[in-house]
Amino acid sequence: MYTNLINHIRRYIELDDDTIDILNKYIKPVNLKKKDFLLKEGQVCRSIYFVEKGCLRMFFVNDKMSEQITQFALENWWISDFFSFIDNKPSGYFIQTVEKSEILSIDTSSFEMMLKELPQMERYFRIVMQRALAASQLRAKYMYELTKEEFYTHFCGSFPEFVQRVPQYMIASYLGLTPEYVSELRKKKL
């Protein structure tokens, strides 16, 4: 069970069957249908989430009352509002499924206990965080150097499967463009 997570951990550290059993004590599976919420604005984000199957989005509601998506998570991605998770502060975000999803969740206290019982997991999470940071540095670089049109084209070229799977207006929101402008860009490309 949780084959995706186990395989993901095994990319980075050794993991025997006994350790997997221990690990299982700390992990809570959550099955969600489309548009279910894992986190709502104002709540403290008390868990980190791993996507076994499905897709999540993280967004906040801006002053114009429209949803601003800041992150997606597909299979094998961890997602959380780390700011809220680390310091137990109320979150400004929503985390919601984009489609029917199987999520694994580890809450704050399980996370600490798990790391105490299985210190080798510190290494796994160090590497996960380091890679997430590298990804976020890369994304920031693209946002600095590309025009919005180039950013859109580059994104569609890099993640074609993703573009199929997620509604266009969500991609627009994630890239920081209006749906109208994306529409215009698509017309131009044809």
Partner DNA sequence: ACCATTTCTTAAACCAGCTTAATTTTTTTG
Partner DNA sequence: CAAAAAAATTAAGCTGGTTTAAGAAATGGT
Q: Which residues here bind a second copy, judged by CB under 8 A?
A: 60, 62-63, 68, 70-71, 81-83, 85-86, 92, 115, 119-120, 122-123, 125-126, 129-134, 136-138, 140-141, 143-145, 176
Comparing CB distances to DNA, the nearer of 8 and 57 is 57
- Min dist CB 172 to a second copy, Å, is 13
| Whole-number Å distance between alpha carbons of 145 and 71 | 20
Query: What number of CA atoms fall less than 13 Å from residue 111's CA on the CB side?
Result: 18
| Binding-site partner at residue 88 among DNA, a second copy, none, CB < 5 to 8 Å by type | none
| Whole-number Å distance between alpha carbons of 151 and 142 | 7
**Sole binder of DNA in the list 63, 119, 144, 187 (CB under 7 A):** 187
Our separate counts of H helices and E strands in the chain read 9, 6
70 vs 15, 67, 79, 148, CA distance in Å? 33, 10, 11, 16
Q: What is the helix, strand, coil percentage profile of the chain, to 5?
A: 50, 25, 25
- Min dist CB 93 to DNA, Å, is 19
| Binding-site partner at residue 37 among a second copy, DNA, none, CB < 5 to 8 Å by type | none
Q: What is the CB neighbour count within 10 angstroms for residue 116?
A: 10
Residue 55 found at the interface with DNA (CB under 7 A)? no
| Binding-site partner at residue 136 among a second copy, DNA, none, CB < 5 to 8 Å by type | a second copy
- The site for DNA (CB under 7 A) is made up of 34, 64, 147-149, 167-170, 176-184, 186-187
